[in-house]
Chain A
């Protein structure tokens, strides 16, 4: 009945030129539009304006201090550490979690239905509350009663001691991990990878299932005999758009790392501020210490990075030919 009527309806409604859709359209969009402006756009403008002031919550007024906040960001050693920690984290976590995600996806995909169990397991950290898992990792890495150092100690007295790391660990004790400024940021990176690569794997798996079988046959006809050649000829180019997307989303997520850092070091962002990442700096400066000006300046830089990354991604995707 709907079908019968609709063909008639289409003829009837086509010529009408009343402005009902216009009014209805704006009416339906209005709440979303208002919220978008209030919650997403105005805060950016506010942060932009406040980044040029020395405003604090509770103060009646504020002074314009020009670029002083930004100047501080680029001259003080604390903020240098902040940039170093943030970029170390992003530059470590993104390539490794993307690489592991791709590797796991290829292996799981090639195993067929048995591979699904690994997919389930690797996806668990994505679902689990990161804060809870951070605390679990903290126990694992406990210097004396943690599972990690206990496992490492089992290697003492065996041929493992040939490796300098084990020799040193057995003689003077294994690292403190979270309490050691040489290890702290790497441990955080490891947990970031642990948590994120399953997500990337699932995205790659979705990309892999859409690669046409015929392409592999065609490649074989053309003389691509080894699996390696087929990968470079068919799989990798076909995964292009997926890869661009996975890299971007991993970058944005990596920039936002916070839960693990706050769980491990509620004060100060790690031994010697070695894990003082940007989100933690915004939290500490802007909210805990009420230095809104400097917090806003970090916010603006943060937004700049993230938007820049996303724009690069869109540009890459649009430029890309569709395979």
Chain B
């Protein structure tokens, strides 16, 4: 242990740099704008009551409000009625910074909708990828047919192509079909995962032939074999692929940025955050960091809960 102290020192220094932006992101999401500006308050901030200036501006008591409130403040002149009304709005508009930041994150932009979009898009991508890749992987691994080697060669070639690199022609194609700014545009280019085919094929190669022959004897069609015999054996590999796919697409920013322009209903979480940054002024650091925290948290928590599986899934590409 004492011999290893320098290793710990180096690794701890590295850990501080790695964690610094996470620390700052979460800390800012707790603090009031003033504390952020002055750089005080430690990690949680002092959590003093603060007044939301926009809320005050929106609820400025007008002539009509004063008239309406006159019955409540009997025998007072207009100025004092207005003053008491102002005090009321201030009381209603004041809150703890952490509440302010997180409530703003969800009310300034439809963050829940963005998160649901993210879930819908990542899950549909994964489902379609599996439905397309599993039968193909099975055929390439276990069926002898003319042209199989050519198809597998094509799979190996396509592994070379990063989909992001051909974004421009894909975008032109989708634009010609009138599909930009639709859910389809977010999903379609990812429906084929050559990597998924390759991975599942390698896995299926290890499944004993006897199992398949037995299923054939039972009169199963090849497609039924894929879902009833091969799929259950492939659950661990498929889970790893799921993690790989979901992480990549939840975090993807480039593709949604290209095919979704303006239509907020289709925004994925990273796009929502980007828009927040675009129109935020200085006082919105807190809510913005709250949004960022909300977006980053699901995957981080899942990762911390199932570390081994996640590391396997993400480094799957190392098996090539």
Contact = CB atoms under 8 A, between A and B. Distances in A.
B147 to A, nearest CB: 7
Contacts of A42: 169, 173
B274 to A, nearest CB: 6
Interface string A118-133: 1111111111111111
A310 interface: yes
A228 to B, nearest CB: 15
A159 to B, nearest CB: 20
B36 interface: yes
What's the dominant secondary structure at chain B's contact region? helix
Contacts of A194: 17-18
Contacts of B189: 39
Nearest to B26: A136
B105 interface: no
Contacts of A292: 168, 172
B197 A26 contact: no
Contact of A29 (B151, B192, B278, B314): B151
A33 B136 contact: yes
Chain B interface size, under 10 / 10 to 19 / 20 to 34 / 35 or more? 35 or more
Nearest to B140: A29
Contacts of A110: 4, 7
Contact of A303 (B36, B165, B253, B317): B165
Interface stretch (A63-71, A87-95, A199-207): A199-207
A29 B135 contact: yes
Interface stretch (B54-62, B71-79, B304-312): B304-312
A130 B251 contact: yes
A162 interface: no
A245 interface: yes
A36 B18 contact: no
A145 B31 CA distance: 14
Given A28-B138, A150-B39, A124 B19 contact: yes
B25 interface: yes
A221 interface: no
Contacts of A24: 139, 143, 145, 221-223
Nearest to A256: B164
Given A127-B303, A256-B162, A132 B295 contact: yes
Chain A interface size, under 10 / 10 to 19 / 20 to 34 / 35 or more? 35 or more
Given A43-B173, A132-B270, A123 B303 contact: yes
A98 interface: no
A118 B155 contact: no
Contacts of B289: 136, 139
B51 interface: no
Contacts of A163: none
B202 interface: no
B146 A22 contact: yes
Contacts of B37: 145
B300 A124 contact: yes
B185 interface: no
A302 interface: yes
Interface in B68-91: none
A40 B158 contact: yes
A297 to B, nearest CB: 10
B14 A40 contact: no
Contacts of B133: 32
Contacts of A128: 22, 251, 296, 299-300
Contact of A107 (B10, B213, B304): B10
Contacts of A258: 164, 253-254
A7, A8, A147, A245 pick with most chain B CB within 10 angstroms: A147
B20, B269, B295 pick with most chain A CB within 10 angstroms: B20
A189 B260 CA distance: 28
A40 B194 contact: yes
B53 interface: no
B188 interface: yes
Interface of B: 4, 7-8, 10-11, 14-15, 17-22, 24-25, 28, 36-37, 39, 132-133, 135-136, 138-140, 143-148, 151, 154-155, 158-173, 175, 188-189, 191-192, 194, 197, 208-211, 213-214, 216-217, 221-223, 226, 247, 250-251, 253-254, 257-258, 269-270, 273-274, 277-278, 285, 288-289, 292, 295-296, 299-300, 303-304, 307, 310-311, 314-315, 317-318, 320
14 contacts: A9-B210, A9-B217, A10-B213, A21-B222, A24-B143, A27-B222, A104-B11, A111-B7, A121-B15, A135-B288, A203-B315, A256-B162, A266-B278, A310-B159
Shortest Cβ-Cβ A-B pairs, 9 listed: A25-B145, A6-B210, A32-B136, A43-B169, A24-B222, A35-B192, A28-B135, A28-B139, A9-B213
Interface of A: 2-3, 5-10, 12-13, 20-29, 31-33, 35-36, 39-44, 46-47, 50, 57, 100, 104, 107-108, 110-111, 115, 118-133, 135-137, 139-140, 145, 147, 150, 194, 198-199, 202-203, 206, 242, 245, 249, 252, 256, 258-259, 262-263, 266, 279, 282-283, 286-287, 292, 295-296, 299, 302-303, 306-307, 310-311
